[in-house]
Homo-oligomer: A and B are copies of this chain.
Amino acid sequence: MPSSAQRKATAEDSLDRVFHALADRTRRALLARLAQGPARVTDLAAPFAMSLPAVSKHLKVLESAALIERAVDGRVHRCAIAAAPLKDAGRWLEHYRGFWEERLEALARFVEAPAKPKRGRR
């Protein structure tokens, strides 16, 4: 049981963390890498022009958003992608899909239409 004044983690908290985690290209790249299979921290860090601690921090962010899981085996930490929160984010976006879809369709038709002599607007 949580010891002191500790608010319950809400769905909003989770979205905060997930979207924040996704808002960094290094972290997205890490996810992309992990999408092809689990990997050790050092291997994950290798392609990046930054220090190991930096990558370690990124992984911690991903982990606290529950986007990855890690299995500690001896001194090596094996990271793997974990999908559920992405699904939440996807659902959130999905919520708006109905809305855009129609607008985008219209926009797309407009944009892709034979270039008519441009009217003011904007």
Chain A: residues with CB nearer than 8 A to chain B? 12, 15-16, 19-20, 22-25, 28, 31, 35, 81, 83-84, 86-87, 89-90, 92-94, 96-97, 99-101, 103-104, 107-108
Stoichiometry, as copies per complex, reads 2
- Within the complex, the shortest CB–CB distance from A80 to chain B, in Å, comes to 9
- Within the complex, the shortest CB–CB distance from A41 to chain B, in Å, comes to 19
Kindly list chain B residues whose C-beta atoms are within 8 Å of the C-beta of A24. Answer: 16
Take A89-B93, A90-B97, A96-B86 as given contacts and tell me if A23 and B19 are in contact as well, using a CB distance cutoff of 8 Å: yes
Kindly list chain B residues whose C-beta atoms are within 8 Å of the C-beta of A100. Answer: 81, 83-84, 86-87
Take A84-B107, A89-B93 as given contacts and tell me if A22 and B19 are in contact as well, using a CB distance cutoff of 8 Å: yes
List of 3 A-B pairs having minimum Cβ-Cβ separation, nearest first: A83-B100, A19-B23, A20-B23
Kindly list chain B residues whose C-beta atoms are within 8 Å of the C-beta of A99. Answer: 35, 81, 83
Check A25 against B16 for contact (C-beta < 8 Å): yes
A92 to B28, CA, bound (A): 10
